[in-house]
Chain A
Amino acid sequence: ETGVTQTPRHLVMGMTNKKSLKCEQHLGHNAMYWYKQSAKKPLELMFVYNFKEQTENNSVPSRFSPECPNSSHLFLHLHTLQPEDSALYLCASTSGSGRVVDTQYFGPGTRLTVL
């Protein structure tokens, strides 16, 4: 148990659906991250929030919309996705100011399949 939970663990959706991924951290951290992991590719950073403020948007298409209502919760709202968006979506959190030199704690991920 890493202290970072993600729901759902698996999600299958059509290209016209709207769904949301949820991440919650129980570690008292201030920074939260969304990563995408596609088959045969390195992890890609999508978004970073530090003290609820977005500090990084790594040129992510607008069909992915993040929301961070407080330092413990992070959402990723999905709409009109494409089959190539099928991937493992991982949430992570760090303590302090969110400097990358801090150890990152990862959730178990949501396996997303877009039909």
Chain B
Amino acid sequence: KNEVEQSPQNLTAQEGEFITINCSYSVGISALHWLQQHPGGGIVSLFMLSSGKKKHGRLIATINIQEKHSSLHITASHPRDSAVYICAVRPNSGGSNYKLTFGKGTLLTVNP
């Protein structure tokens, strides 16, 4: 079982819908990242958070450290939001300071 689980694996929405992507992890962490990968491969870092909530434009990321869970929300979704959204965590105990553990990603398709 992967240490980082994302749900759903695939998500199709209509333009304007509110979208939620979930990330659960099984270890203590010092930080969680949300990344966006468009077709063609390029990855953009959206958020890095260790507690609470962050907002950037139509994107909101929340994290509950006690429940080991994070959500990424997209309000008023648009076809240009179509991408793979990846959750990654930095485990607290052991291992390298540089090593992130990644989820498999959620493929979001927003139809016009």
Interface residues of A (CB under 8 A from B): 2, 31, 33, 37, 40-45, 48, 50, 55-56, 58, 88, 90, 92, 98-101, 103-109, 111
Chain A residues with CB under 8 A of B102: 42-44
Q: Confirm or deny: B45 has a beta carbon within 8 angstroms of a beta carbon on chain A.
A: yes
Contact A100 B104 (CB under 8 A): no
A45 touches which of B31, B98, B104, B105 (Cβ 8 Å): B98
Contact A106 B96 (CB under 8 A): no
A100 touches which of B43, B97, B105 (Cβ 8 Å): B97
Query: Shortest beta-carbon distance, A8 to chain B, in Å?
Result: 13
Number of interface residues, chain B, beta carbon within 8 A: 27
Contact B44 A56 (CB under 8 A): no
Bound complex: CA of A41 vs CA of B105, how far in Å?
9
Contact A101 B30 (CB under 8 A): yes
A111 touches which of B31, B41, B50 (Cβ 8 Å): B41
Q: Pick from A41, A42, A104, A107 the residue with the most CB of B within 10 Å.
A: A42
